[in-house]
Each structure stands twice: as C-alpha cells, then as structure tokens.
Structure 1
Amino acid sequence: MVLGPRLDLRQGQQLVMTPQLQQAIKLLALTNLELESFIAAEVEKNPLLEASDNDGDGPDGGPDDIPLEADGADGGDSALDGDLLDGGADVPTADALLDGAMANGNDSPLDIDIDSEIYHHDSASDRMSDGAADGGLESSLSLSSQGSMSGGQPDEDLPGIDGLLIDNRSLTDHLHDQARAAFRDPQSLAIATYLIDLVDDAGYLSEPVEEVAARLGASLAQALGVLKVLQTFEPAGVCARSLGECLKIQAREADRLDPAMEALLDNLDVLAKGDLAALRRICGVDQEDLADMIQELRGYNPKPGLAFGSESAQTVVPDIFVRRMSAGGWGVELNTATLPRVLVNRTYYAELSTRASKAERLFLSECLQSANWLVKALDQRARTILKVATELVRQQEEFFEQGVKALKPLNLKHIAEAIGMHESTVSRVTANKFLACQRGVFELKYFFTSAIQSADGGDAHSAEAVKQRIKELIDQEKPDAILSDDKLVEILVAEKFDIARRTVAKYREALKIPSSVQRRRLKMLEAGQRMNGR
C-alpha cells in the first residue's frame, strides 16, 4: 500500500444552521416585550433600520415601510389581520383592499365603513370602547381607571395599576434605617448590621446567634442584647428565630402576652394537631378563653417581612387575544399594540450609496440585506404564532365555551401534526406566550395537559379537568363528612375517571389542599370558633 497525498471528490449532505436561521429560531421563543428589546438592539447596530410606533406610517419621502405581507405558502390572510374560527365574519383584509384599488385604478375599494371593520384597529385593546354587548374580551379587560381602555375619561379618584404594586423599598433597607437611629455604639451597630443582613424575606433570622457572635468575636450576651433591640423594630415580629418567637413579639406588642398566651405559643404543635382538650389543660383556661386566644392568634402575621418586597410585581402582557365573534366562532389575533414595527430607510440607503466608497457600499449592502431578513423573520414569526394559536383554540374550543372542566388532553405533537410543523417549533412558539380571553389570561403551555383515561373506554380527560373536579369535591364536603383520598377515588371512578389513589394525592398536593386529617382538624377549630362566637 502506497502512502501519499491525493485529492478525492465526495458528495454528501449536511444540515447547516445559517445565522439567519438561528435568528429566526431565536425570535420564535421571544415574547413581544423581549422582541422589542431585541429590535432596539438591532436598530442601534443597523443604520438602515428604524423602529416605528403602531399608530401610522412614516412621513412621505421618509423610511420605506416594509409591511408584513401575506405571501406565505398557504395563501392565508396577513398574520396581523387575525384569523376567524368557525363562522367568523367575512372581513376583507388590507391586502385585498389594496389589490382591488390597484386593479381599478382608484380608491373605491377603500371607501368602506371603518366602524364595521372588525380588525381596523391595531389590537383588541383598541376596541375596549365598543361596549361589551357580546360578552367578549372587551368586558373582561375594561379598566374604568384607564380612560383609554374604557372609552371614558380617567377617574382621578381611583388608583392606577401602578399603585397596586409592591413598594420597591426592601425589608433590609427599612431595618437598617431603624438600626442607625437605635444604636449609637459602633460595635453594637456593626452587630446589628450583620444580623439584619441575615434576615430572610419572611422576616426571620436565618442563622443562630451563637454562630454570629463567634464569627464577629463578640460575646453572646452582647449579640443577644442587640437582637432583643432588633425585635422591637417595625414590622412587629421581625428578626424572630422561630414562629413561636415571632408571634410572642406581636403578642407582647399588643400587651397580650400573659402566661396563658405564652403557654399556647410554646405549644403550637399541639394546636396544629387540633387537640383542644390538651391545650385547655396546658394553658389552664376554659373553652371560651381558649377560643378567644386562638381567635387573637389568627390576627397575627406569621411572616411579617413579606409586607416589603425587593422586586415590584410584573404585570403579564398577553401576546394573543381570543374573542367571541358576533357571527359565531372565535377570533384570534396578535397583540400588535406591543408588537414592534420595523421600517427600512431605503431613501437613506439610496443617498449614501451614490457617494460612498466601495467598502462603504459593501457595508450598506450587508445592512440592507440584514434589515430585509429581519423584516421577513418578523413576518414569519407573526404567522407562525398566529397559526399555532389558531389551531390551539380550535383544539380547545370547548374550554373557551365551558371552562376548565372541558379542557382536553393535548400535547405538542397534536398541534404540530395539525399545522404541518415540527414539535420543537411549536414548543418555541408556546414558550413564555400568554393568551387573553374572556375567562382570563393563560400561558399557552397551560392548554397542554396529560390525559387521564376514561373508565368506560370513552374519551380521555385532561389532568387539569381532574384537578378541578377534585377541588370542587373538597370545597363541597361537609365538616362531618371529610373526603379521604380513597373516597375521592371512589367518586371519580364512579364519574368515569380511571385514576389511582397516588394520582389523587399528587393532584391534591399540587393544589395545596391539606390531607383529610388536617382538613378535619381545621373544620373542628372553625366549628368551635363559630360556637363560641354565638
């Protein structure tokens, strides 16, 4: 065998992820708000790109607006014009009107009743003033405190949604301010600062005082003295080392920490078991006094630190609107109010190209190609999201009609096969996307649930529907007839649910519902409170 260099020709196939394809895949997983940030970064890098508001076109002679045209393979309507399901009104799209105007040489096709155009506005939020006669999305999302949403003048007496958010001031900052005013000794202030930094979000000290004293080289008595002062700070109950100590601080603040209350707080485990007879013996009180003590205990805050928050609450902005159409069926459209609109400034490109050097023209050509590809990717993203959402609403139409009990088992494969896409594409589209309908705002992932087989061989049931039924049964149970997990299984099997006891227990725990023993004790305590209240 002779060894030596030689040239060979081989033919093969290889899947290559181009930068453009990677960008298109990345755009699918972004929400509208995340997409806005991405567009802002692209506009900063590309001089030919401009971000525009959704309230109109640019000025004449300015940026050339690249519309999201409906030239897809399926020949459907524009992605931003929405989609109608089963009996929706036959509404001409903007593309059809423009085509008619160009064919006739005049503007007659555009001479229509604007108010009758269902998708004339940018998004469903712009139609809030149309009234709620059909019981659709308008009635569920109307906010009287926002004049632009309800169609009236804003009510200055009512706080806006920003007023409902948690204060940005954290518990740590609040405690540090009090510590600087309470401690004059630098060493005590240093110990207090260290202890405050160990307080968790609920207001409890997360490490033993003995370890803190040893770590700082201070005496245990001095550390305990500083902690005792910290426990007098607001909110009451903060810097406690246990639940009992937290409640004791609040009872002392209310001047109610008598020996009986202190004995009760030292035996919270007995109270959790519902052993009222043992509590009466331990506290040395009668039934009426014990009921008053328990009632007062309910008024204390077991997690005082949660009154402060380090992060403000974030409102969910829906990406898709689903509303019932007056002609029947369901209308699905994107929330274009938060969907960025990109413009390509071709005039700027033409002006620069005439007096640019060869290297500059090459750079401008790359910028123009990148801008055109971005617009195309945004168009494809809008079409894909709308296509997946439309099929999702079609598959779960009974949910929008009847609620959670009618939710069907569904997985990504069902949607992917119905619309001719890959499961990974559907997974990216449904990630971090929210749908708003008359029943509320739901994440798209919510509609994909596992199946519980039917006992009689009929259609399978959704896991969410089974959870809802379990919750209904427990909510309807009587104090003298608490349903155990075994009893829940019997009822569900009688209702044609093929379900095991461990599955019922798992769903009950997922719903944060206590066990039958715990519920029985709670019912006993509540019944005792009602009797003593009379």
Structure 2
Amino acid sequence: MGLSPSLHLRQSQSLVMTPQLLQSIRLLQLTRGELEQFIAGEIERNPLLEHEAGGEEPAAAGEPAPRAGAEAMAERLDSSLENLFPDDPGRREAIGPDLSAQWRSAGGNGLATGEAWDLEAVAAAPITLGAHVQEQIAFAFQSPQERLLAQELADGLDEAGYLSVDLAEIAERTGADRPLLDRVLATCQTFDPPGLFARSLAECLALQLKARDRLDPAMQALLSHLDLLARRDFAGLKRLCGVDEEDLVEMLAEIRALDPKPGTAFTRAPADPVVPDVFVRRAAEGGWVVELNQEALPRVLVNQAYYATVSARADQAEKAFLSECLQSANWLVRSLDQRARTILKVAGEIVRRQDAFLLHGVRHLRPLKLRDVAEAIGMHESTVSRVAANKYMMTPRGLFELRYFFTAALAAADGGEAHSAEAVRERIRRLIEAEDAGNVLSDDALVAALREDGIEVARRTVAKYREAMNIPSSVQRRREKKALAGLGA
C-alpha cells in the first residue's frame, strides 16, 4: 500500500472565542475597582477613548478650565487679607497682590513655582512597627554589640509582633554568646507595646500581664494550659490554677483584655469601601424599584471628532491603526453597556424571587439556584455566576453580595415549600443565642426545634452549620455559660 500526499476539503463548525468576546466575559466578573483600572489602561492605550465629563461645564476656547476657580480663590484671598489686616492697609497691599498674583499664575493649583499643593505629601506618614522598634533600640542599648543583636531580633519580627527566627540561628550567624543574646531579648521584650518579641501566644500574654503586674502563679498556670481554655474546660483550669469559680472568671476577663497580636496596631492596610452596584428601594405604588448605581458605572466615550480630524490627513498605516482603535473603542463601550444591562437583569430577577426576604428578613429567604435565574432571564448559568461574583446590592435590609441570595434548599418537614440553607443557619444562630446556662441545646435538640418549625434537617447538617458559624458544641457552651455567669455572659 503506497503513501502519497493529497488535498481534501472539509467543512466543520466550531465555537471560537474571539478576543472581543473574551473581553466581554472578563468585564462581567470584574469588581468596580478592577474595572476602573482596566478602563484606565484602555484609555492610556487607545487615543480615541476618553472619560465622560461628569456634569462639568466645558472651558472656553483658549482658556484653561481651572481659571475660574483660580479667580474665585484669589478673591477669597483678598477678602481674607482685608479681615486679617483691617488697620494696616500698607501691610495688606504688600502681601495681598503678591499672593493673588501667584495664585492666578498657578491656575489655582499652587504658587508661582507651579507645584501642586498635595496635603497628603506633607502629612505625617504612619509609623511602622519596624520604625517604632528602632527608636526604642536606640535608647535601650548603649553597646554596639547589643544594638547589633537587637537589630537582628527586630528583623525577625512578623506583622503580629512575634519573633519568628530561632535564637540559635542568630547566635551562630553573629557569633554572639547565648547568654548575651538572651539578655538582649529580655530587654526587647520590655518595649512598647507590651507583648512584642514573644515567641508564642502564652509568652505574649505573659509579657502583657507582667507589664500590668498581674503575672502571679495562678496566671502562669492558666497560660501554661491555654489548650484547656480553648476547650472550655473550666473545671480543669480551676483545679490546676488553684482558684475558685469567681477568681477564674476575673482571670478570664483579664485575658480577654489583652492583645494577642500587638504588632498589628502598626499595620494600617487601606480599607476598600464596598460600593453597591445596584440600589433596591420600595416603590410608592408597591413592589420594588431596582436601579443601577450611576456612580459605580464607568463613563467612557469614543471621540469621533478626533478620529475624523486625524484620519483625514493620515497615511495608510495610520488609518489602519486608527480603524483598529475605533473598533476596539466601540466594542468596549458596547461591552460596558451590556455589562450594566446584565447586572440589572440578574438583580431584578433576584429581587422578584426574594420579595419575602426584603419584607420580613432572613428567615424568609427562599432557596435559589443560578440555573433558576439564568432560565428566567434567558442567559447561560455561567454568565449569571460571573455577574453575581463581587457585585453588591443595597437593600432596605442592608448591603448584600449577589451571591448571598443563592442558597441550597432544605426539605420541609410537612412536605411544603423548601427552606433556604441561609435561613436555617440564621434560625440555628437565634436558638443558640436564646439559650441559658440551664438550658443549653444539643444538636439533637436543635434538630427537634427545627422540625417543630417545619424544617427537616439531619443532625450532621446542624453540626456542620454550627461549626461553620464558629459556634462550639453544647458541652463547651454549657461550661462557658456557667463559668461566665458572674459577668452576665
């Protein structure tokens, strides 16, 4: 049988993900901050894209926009100088015109130097943990060798303020004697805030108690058995510490007042505020009004006039580049519009199905699947999943992520309508919060209480929900409630 090359024609169909389609899919799942960064990058790359002016009046031709603000500020400066030097017109005239002229020449952004005034640039920077420790090292040690060892210890601090390096390793690397290194560490452990340079949680708490002059033998015994405290074994702690119930309650109150991570006081990570994508409010005639948050929507325009002006005198290569930029810009604008419409559709369907939750609270949250919303609005389930991720809805009952409304269904005891898993968790939480030291509900008792409310749920499901909410077992809760009865807990 001979082999020879040959040509064949074949027709086939396949689904191809174009770059534009991939971009549209990606835009659906971006958060507001990520979307702003993406658009800023597109505007930097595409000369035909620009931000839509948010209601600002356009500047007159040939005149910079800040001029009107600069003139108004100059007038306020003149008025302030008149109030400041009412009895000394010479002094006012000597200072006033200079300041006004400098402000006008800077366009309202600064003085004659042309530099913008940035308040954040002159504000004091936050003190870091390393800088705070370095200041104390400079005053605590006089010997260069001790100061070098203290620097090595400070370099081994983690964000919580704990010493994360081995002393034997530091001694080997620096050639220092272990007794000297121990003395330097003991001095560093007296730094402010108390608890720094600890090597364990027990040592961190002990340093803070020592600074308060409360590290007695009973406290030392308690810190040596923190595992019993985690298990709420208060009877064992009373026996080991040699104290009665009242003393143990006071000791536990002192432990609660301590800071297990003293170094985090210097970690000031910027808090990103959550901006709702959708607002839900009650309509005057009944029902609900669902509307997009206009402030969270990016406003991007395609500069058609600039395209027409530049392409009229561009060569063939430049026209091809501009045509590609125009196509990309138009696709981005359409994708952003489609993104907003899709979010509104998904949010509207969620509100329609969760009307009882909006009226009566979480106990009336209905079970909902992504497939249910996708079929109702005529979209794919994956599209709804992307929209629900990192999107937030402001309702009369608070701010919720869209994914919050998608919960599993639990069967009803009487065969009626199924219950939402989130509503069942809320019911378990309320039952446990209402119990007292003499009536602590076990998981079996919780199952019976839920069955009385018409919720059919297994014991292992109750235990799983309870552990997910970080609620201890009934035995641990009973010990804790009895031991903390003196504090009203």
- TM-score range (shorter-chain normalised) is 0.7 to 0.9
Residue 440 (structure 2) pairs with residue 519 (structure 1): no
- State the 1:383 CA deviation: 1.0
- State the 1:528 CA deviation: 3.7
1:442 to 400, 413, 416: 400
Match of 1:53 in 2: 53
Match of 1:10 in 2: 10
Give the partner amino acid of 1:393: V
Could you list the per-position Cα deviations for residues 351-391 of structure 1 after superposition, in whole angstroms to 9, with x for gaps in the alignment?
Answer: 11221112212222221122111111111111111111111
User: Whole-Å Cα distance in 2 between the matches of residues 286 and 391 of structure 1?
Assistant: 59
Which structure 1 residue ranges, 5 or more long, are not aligned? 62-161
Give the partner amino acid of 1:391: E
* Contact in 2 for aligned 1:51/1:343 (Cα 8 Å): yes
Match of 2:452 in 1: 494
* Contact in 1 for aligned 2:189/2:207 (Cα 8 Å): yes
Distance change (3 Å), C-alpha of 1:500 and 1:354: same
1:239 to 173, 197, 207: 197
User: Whole-Å Cα distance in 1 between the matches of residues 239 and 21 of structure 2?
Assistant: 74
User: Whole-Å Cα distance in 1 between the matches of residues 307 and 231 of structure 2?
Assistant: 77
Match of 1:355 in 2: 313
CA-based RMSD: 2.8
Distance change (3 Å), C-alpha of 1:168 and 1:508: farther
* Contact in 1 for aligned 2:162/2:199 (Cα 8 Å): yes
2:295 to 320, 326, 337: 337
User: Whole-Å Cα distance in 2 between the matches of residues 280 and 30 of structure 1?
Assistant: 54
Residue 349 (structure 2) pairs with residue 391 (structure 1): yes
User: Whole-Å Cα distance in 2 between the matches of residues 393 and 271 of structure 1?
Assistant: 45
Match of 1:365 in 2: 323
User: Whole-Å Cα distance in 1 between the matches of residues 232 and 21 of structure 2?
Assistant: 62
- State the 1:280 CA deviation: 5.6
* Contact in 2 for aligned 1:36/1:339 (Cα 8 Å): no
Could you list the per-position Cα deviations for residues 183-211 of structure 1 after superposition, in whole angstroms to 9, with x for gaps in the alignment?
Answer: 34444334333333433333333344344
Looking at CA atoms only, which structure, 1 or 2, has the larger radius of gyration? 2
After superposition, residues 381-530 of structure 1 pair within 5 angstroms as: 381-529=339-487
- Bigger CA drift: 328-337 or 207-216? 207-216
* Contact in 2 for aligned 1:31/1:319 (Cα 8 Å): no
* Contact in 1 for aligned 2:162/2:198 (Cα 8 Å): yes
User: Whole-Å Cα distance in 1 between the matches of residues 230 and 30 of structure 2?
Assistant: 46
User: Whole-Å Cα distance in 2 between the matches of residues 270 and 513 of structure 1?
Assistant: 17
Could you list the per-position Cα deviations for residues 277-296 of structure 1 after superposition, in whole angstroms to 9, with x for gaps in the alignment?
Answer: 66566555566555544443
Match of 1:78 in 2: none
Which structure 2 residue ranges, 5 or more long, are not aligned? 62-119
Higher helix share: 2
- State the 1:523 CA deviation: 0.8
Distance change (3 Å), C-alpha of 1:331 and 1:479: same
Match of 1:103 in 2: none
Match of 2:83 in 1: none
Distance change (3 Å), C-alpha of 1:501 and 1:168: farther
- Bigger CA drift: 416-425 or 217-226? 217-226
Identity, % of aligned pairs? 57
Give the partner amino acid of 2:29: A
* Contact in 1 for aligned 2:234/2:479 (Cα 8 Å): no
Match of 2:272 in 1: 314
- State the 1:242 CA deviation: 2.7
User: Whole-Å Cα distance in 2 between the matches of residues 382 and 287 of structure 1?
Assistant: 60
- State the 1:5 CA deviation: 3.1
Distance change (3 Å), C-alpha of 1:344 and 1:281: closer
Give the partner amino acid of 2:151: T
Higher relative contact order (CA 8 A, sep 6+): 1
Give the partner amino acid of 1:45: R
SS in 1 for 2:50: strand
Match of 2:88 in 1: none
Distance change (3 Å), C-alpha of 1:420 and 1:248: same
User: Whole-Å Cα distance in 1 between the matches of residues 268 and 291 of structure 2?
Assistant: 36
Normalising by structure 2, what TM-score?
Answer: 0.80
* Contact in 2 for aligned 1:321/1:335 (Cα 8 Å): yes
- State the 1:395 CA deviation: 1.6
Distance change (3 Å), C-alpha of 1:192 and 1:438: farther
- State the 1:59 CA deviation: 8.1
Normalising by structure 1, what TM-score?
Answer: 0.73
Distance change (3 Å), C-alpha of 1:290 and 1:5: closer
User: Whole-Å Cα distance in 1 between the matches of residues 310 and 263 of structure 2?
Assistant: 60
Match of 1:84 in 2: none
* Contact in 1 for aligned 2:245/2:483 (Cα 8 Å): no
